[in-house]
Amino acid sequence: MNVSISPFVIPPDLEATTPIEALGGSRDEVRLMVASARGGLRHAVFCQLDDYLERGDLVVVNDSKTLPAALSGQLRGIEIRLHLSTPVPGTRNWFVEPRLPAGPASSRFVGGLSGDTIELAGDGRAVLLAPRQEEGAKPRLWEASLHLPDPLPMFLHRWGQPIRYPYINRAWELHRYQTIFARVPGSAEMPSAARPFSWPLVQRLASKGVDLCCVTLHTGVASLESKEAPFPERYRVGVDAAEKINATRKAGGRVIAVGTTVVRALESARDDEGVIIPSRGETNLVIRYQHQIRAIDGIVTGWHEPDATHFMLLEALAGPRIVAESYQSALDERYRWHEFGDSHLILRD
């Protein structure tokens, strides 16, 4: 990984185990760090986001809705938590990740074999066909055929749970893993950068002359436990969004992506001049430091794990120094990590 940030460990007490609204607050009351090379670092609250955006700016959000993509099952007498990630293109199969239950969450499992059948709750089953080979990484995902008594959306609605990781302290409900913009079902995990948005904040942005549009990128399972690149994911950038983004850039406004998912979608949809072309499909794009980001001028994002490849995307946008300074300040100022945690606005000067 060609990143300049120093290795660090997230202190356990900075892992956000609980949604802020379950503690009596509102989603837009998480903390917000604002970073740019010219302005340095500023500390705020997310509900003050409108103070840092200007008339003529455009906020681009991901409208993908989180699926209850974790299913309980058994494999050779072993309890399994099966995570559905993304459909296999051109087939009815899915890429899945078998894991071991660990309280309300799960831990890594490496005991699968081709041909194994995972018996699922609800009289379903998943047959592991072949591991997905990833360059330089031990495979986590398997191609699997699903044999279900009901259509997949109905089966997941009845038997599925949201994908959860071990830093949470209880089995939080599916609605905790949805953003206010969620409307197109398809994500294995929440596009969490938009979680702190509230409708009052959206209204204040609109009153200030900051516009908003939606694109769709359905997230697969996260790469939390090793230095893996993001898996290929389905995306759609519609005509309306493309027109708004191109008009904003032409008028001199800034395009602010909400989440690395939006950056990945827009950078997959642009031409060499940075013009957004309406498109849809599956993107394999991995944004590294050398990549010239042309589609956006800033990003609202969360705080990423030490091994995450997302650092390369942030460095490609703003440069290594501002990213390193932001993360050191986040540790010093005790910002909270993960999908229920605090936020980071990075602006490119």
So what's the pLDDT on residue 291?
A: 85
Kindly give, in sequence order, each residue whose CB lies less than 8 Å from that of residue 304, ignoring residues fewer than 6 positions away: 310, 311, 314
Q: Is the pLDDT of residue 3 over 50?
A: no
Q: What percent of the chain has pLDDT over 90?
A: 76
| Each residue's pLDDT tens digit, 281-300 | 999 888 887 888 999 999 99
Which amino acid belongs to residue 146? L
Nearest-angstrom CA–CA distance, 199 and 180: 8
| Each residue's pLDDT tens digit, 54-89 | 999 999 999 999 999 999 999 999 999 999 999 998
Cα radius of gyration rounded to whole Å, the chain: 20
Question: Which has the closest alpha carbon to 52: 62, 42, 60?
Answer: 42
> Which one-letter DSSP state was computed for residue 297?
S
| Each residue's pLDDT tens digit, 207-238 | 999 999 999 999 999 754 555 666 789 999 99
Confidence of residue 278 (pLDDT cuts 50, 70, 90): very high
Mean pLDDT for the chain overall: 92
Question: Which has the closest alpha carbon to 187: 281, 66, 69?
Answer: 66
Q: Is the pLDDT of residue 15 over 60?
A: yes
| Each residue's pLDDT tens digit, 28-46 | 999 999 999 888 999 999 9
Mean pLDDT throughout 322-344?
Answer: 96
Q: Is the pLDDT of residue 339 over 70?
A: yes
Both tokens assigned to 183: 């409307």
Nearest-angstrom CA–CA distance, 213 and 3: 31
Mean pLDDT throughout 304-309?
Answer: 80
Q: What is the DSSP string of 6-51?
A: PP----GGGB--S-GGGGT--GGGSEEEEEETTTEEEEEEGGGGGG
Count of CA atoms in the C-beta half-sphere (13 A) of 75? 23
Angle formed at CA 61 by CA 176 and CA 134, multiple of 5 degrees: 80
Residue appearing with tokens 């908003």: 212
On whether the CB atoms of residues 2 and 324 are closer than 8 A, the answer is: no
So what's the pLDDT on residue 286?
A: 83
Q: Is the pLDDT of residue 2 over 50?
A: no
Nearest-angstrom CA–CA distance, 26 and 24: 7
Confidence of residue 301 (pLDDT cuts 50, 70, 90): very high
Higher pLDDT, 6 or 342: 342
Nearest-angstrom CA–CA distance, 237 and 6: 35
| Each residue's pLDDT tens digit, 99-117 | 999 988 898 888 888 999 9
Kindly give, in sequence order, each residue whose CB lies less than 8 Å from that of residue 48, ignoring residues fewer than 6 positions away: 32
Question: Which has the closest alpha carbon to 52: 69, 70, 64, 40?
Answer: 40
Nearest-angstrom CA–CA distance, 19 and 269: 33
Q: What percent of the chain has pLDDT over 70?
A: 95
Both tokens assigned to 188: 């294995």
Cα 302 → chain centroid: 9
So what's the pLDDT on residue 1?
A: 42
Confidence of residue 143 (pLDDT cuts 50, 70, 90): very high
Angle formed at CA 72 by CA 70 and CA 74, multiple of 5 degrees: 135
With residue 108 as reference, give the H or E element that holds it. strand 105-108
Mean pLDDT throughout 242-270?
Answer: 96
**Which residue(s) pair with 31 in the sheet?**
45
Which amino acid belongs to residue 247? A
Which amino acid belongs to residue 288? R
Q: Is the pLDDT of residue 4 over 70?
A: no
Confidence of residue 179 (pLDDT cuts 50, 70, 90): very high
Mean pLDDT throughout 6-19?
Answer: 91
So what's the pLDDT on residue 145?
A: 97
90 vs 152, 218, 281, 282, CA distance in Å?
17, 17, 12, 12
> Which one-letter DSSP state was computed for residue 179?
-
Q: Is the pLDDT of residue 136 over 80?
A: no
Nearest-angstrom CA–CA distance, 260 and 191: 9
Mean pLDDT throughout 166-188?
Answer: 96
